[in-house]
Amino acid sequence: MEQVDSLKKEGNDAMLKGDLEKAIECYSEGIKIDKNNHVLYSNRSAAYLKAGKYSEALADAETTISIKPDWTKGYSRKGSVLAYMERFDEALAAYRQGLKFEPNNPTLLEGISEVEKRVNSNNSNNRPGGGLFDANMFQNMFAKLQNDPRTSKYFSDPDYLQLVKDIQTNPTSIFSKMQDPRIQETLSVLFEMMDLKAPMNSEVPKESTNSTSTSTTSAPKEEPKVEKMDEDLPDDHKMALIEKEAGNKAYKTKDFETAIKHYEKAIEYFGTDITFYNNLAAVYFEMKEYNKCIKLCEQAIEIGRENRADYKLIAKSFARIGNAYKKMEDYKSAKIYYEKSLSEHRTPETKTLLSQVEKIIKDEELKAYVDPVKAEEEKEKGNELFKKGDYATAVKHYTEAIKRNPSEAKYYSNRAACYTKLAAFDLGLKDCEKCVELDPKFIKGWIRKGNILQGLHKSAQAATAFQKALDIDPDNVEALSGYRDCSINNVGDPDQVRERAMSDPEIQSILRDPAMRLILDQMQRDPKALNEHLQNPTIASKIQK
């Protein structure tokens, strides 16, 4: 019966795409081959119902029951058709008949609940059987459709407006137009108005993505949504959704083995839904079976592509592969799949995860590049070029030395010397600061910093740098000479000194500080106060400037 199974699958796919004629044709061809196949009659009943052909739908539902009286889906199908035909008492009887075979069947119980709600609603509105669509709903229908972004775009189309008017006049005619994608969208909006939403592609909670080796952003946990199943879905799809919900509940309680069984059963029933594969992959992710997770996500993507799944679901599959590779510390592969995920659908979470792995990759590349021996070789090449006066090329070799060993202070000092010769004082100063940060006892770093600051006419700051050098070696000739020059500059023409001071941003900032202004005024009135204030290191450094 391989041909029958193929026709059934083709019919199911057509149903999902809204091609009811194709679905009915496939199921009918299958019935010609296997006249006792109760599932085909049940599925064709669903297709007839969606097409608004209630008599045919009811006949197929009754045939289903006659072929397999103990199969509860037949009673569910019959009850659903009778409810659409507003034969509520008969619908309830059909559902209850099915409960004799399976007392706790959720589909039958839900069917009874829905019919009873509609009966009660009709009674409260004081009108005989209002049918699937409440008349009051249509009074606001145009406003709802015009305001909803999914349907507002159609209102510039005269054909669509006529279709909506036809539906308003004869609500059940909507089912005969289900192949029109505009009508499918309209039906979705109207169902929401009635709180009769179509099945949702709910997923289990997202897995945590934080790694032990680095700080990461954990994906927020999602509560699985309880699906309100459409009675018109093929039976195997409905069974799959029931299994998925059972899997979601098991996942929430971390009963992963049970969750796996339910998700695998869902795939057996209906293997073309990407969500089932994604959910199963999430379980394996939590169980740290990352290779299985990756394999399932790849299957999910393939299934999703074949069945035109929502691009957001495909993006989730790619992101989950990225998370698995990240956990396995294969950061380059993780980067590739995060990028693929973002190409499908951009989310802040995935962008953050991509940034994290890019940083890890960069840090690892820098670590892998470190080689102290090669760093020394590059430094020697730089030294030779410096002696020859080729400062620009020397900079390149000192830079390479720094890449090979970024924690060596002297390389920054040597490059600072080159920058000074090239009059790139800002770059030289930056290297000097890095140099003394790495090694505060490296005297050449302080001297070079002092020389650069002197060249920038920042005598007070230069004097501080030279003083640091003298603290390390009080007899250093270069440091003594630099400090003496700074002192001479500071004691020069008072007007020039004042002019230089007032042009120094640091001194301007100090003079704007109310506390320092009070201290300076006090010192002018009482010179003895100077010694007291110099005991405070912060104030002393500002006064020295």
Q: What is the pLDDT of residue 6?
A: 85
Give the pTM: 0.43
* Residue at 141 is within a domain: no
The predicted-structure confidence for 273-311, as pLDDT tens digits, reads as follows: 999 999 999 999 999 999 999 999 999 999 888 888 888
Do 57 and 100 reside in the same domain of the chain? Answer: yes
Q: What is the pLDDT of residue 220?
A: 39
* Residue at 217 is within a domain: no
The residue ranking higher by pLDDT, 166 or 303, is 303
The listed range with the strongest mean pLDDT (2-11, 28-37, 482-491) is: 28-37
Q: What is the pLDDT of residue 152?
A: 75
Neighbouring-strand partners of residue 211: 214
Q: What is the pLDDT of residue 211?
A: 42
Do 71 and 179 reside in the same domain of the chain? Answer: no
- The mean of the pLDDT values for the chain is 80
Q: How far apart are the first and last CA of the chain?
A: 95
Does 268 have pLDDT greater than 80? yes
The predicted-structure confidence for 470-513, as pLDDT tens digits, reads as follows: 999 999 999 998 888 887 765 545 555 556 556 666 667 776 77
The predicted-structure confidence for 187-237, as pLDDT tens digits, reads as follows: 666 655 544 333 334 444 455 444 444 434 444 343 333 344 445 567 788
Q: What is the pLDDT of residue 517?
A: 74
Q: Are 362 and 331 contacting, i.e. CB atoms less than 8 angstroms apart?
A: no
Which residue, among 265, 261, 263, has the nearest Cα to 204 in the 3D structure?
A: 263
Do 3 and 105 reside in the same domain of the chain? Answer: yes
Does 167 have pLDDT greater than 70? no
Does 533 have pLDDT greater than 70? no
Which residue, among 455, 385, 445, has the nearest Cα to 420 in the 3D structure?
A: 455
* Residue at 199 is within a domain: no
Do 43 and 82 reside in the same domain of the chain? Answer: yes
Q: What is the pLDDT of residue 485?
A: 84
Q: Are 341 and 350 contacting, i.e. CB atoms less than 8 angstroms apart?
A: yes
Where residue 310 sits, what CATH number does that domain have? Answer: 1.25.40.10
Exposure on the CB side of residue 90, measured as CA atoms within 13 A: 12
What CA–CA distance (Å, rounded) separates 15 from 4?
Answer: 16
Do 25 and 80 reside in the same domain of the chain? Answer: yes
Residue 133 DSSP class: S
Beta carbons within 8 Å of 125's beta carbon, 6+ residues apart: 134, 136
Do 524 and 455 reside in the same domain of the chain? Answer: no
Do 30 and 80 reside in the same domain of the chain? Answer: yes
- What 497-505 contacts at long range (C-beta under 8 Å, 24+ apart), as own/partner pairs, is 500/457, 500/459, 504/458, 504/460, 504/545
* Residue at 212 is within a domain: no
Q: What is the mean pLDDT of residues 385-398?
A: 94
Number of H helices, E strands in the chain: 30, 0
78: left (phi over 0), alpha (psi -120 to 50) or beta: alpha
Length of the chain measured in residues: 545
Does 397 have pLDDT greater than 60? yes
Q: Within 10 Å of residue 32's Cβ, how many Cβ atoms? A: 11
Structural domain of 286? 272-368
What CA–CA distance (Å, rounded) separates 187 from 175?
Answer: 9
Tell me whether residue 45 is exposed, middle or buried, using C-beta atoms within 10 angstroms of its C-beta: 0 to 12, 13 to 18, 19 or more: buried
CB crowding 189-217: b at 16 or more within 10 Å, else e: bbeebeeeeebeebbbbbbbbebeeeebe
Do 304 and 341 reside in the same domain of the chain? Answer: yes
In the chain, how many domains are there?
6
Q: Are 20 and 51 contacting, i.e. CB atoms less than 8 angstroms apart?
A: yes
Do 396 and 469 reside in the same domain of the chain? Answer: yes
Do 113 and 11 reside in the same domain of the chain? Answer: yes
Q: Which two tokens stand for residue 86?
A: 């507003």
Q: Are 533 and 540 contacting, i.e. CB atoms less than 8 angstroms apart?
A: yes
| Nearest-5° Cα angle at 526, 524 to 531 | 100
**Cα–Cα separations (whole angstroms), residue 68 to 42, 71, 319, 407:** 11, 6, 45, 79
459: left (phi over 0), alpha (psi -120 to 50) or beta: alpha
Q: Which two tokens stand for residue 135?
A: 């008349």
What CA–CA distance (Å, rounded) separates 487 from 463?
Answer: 7
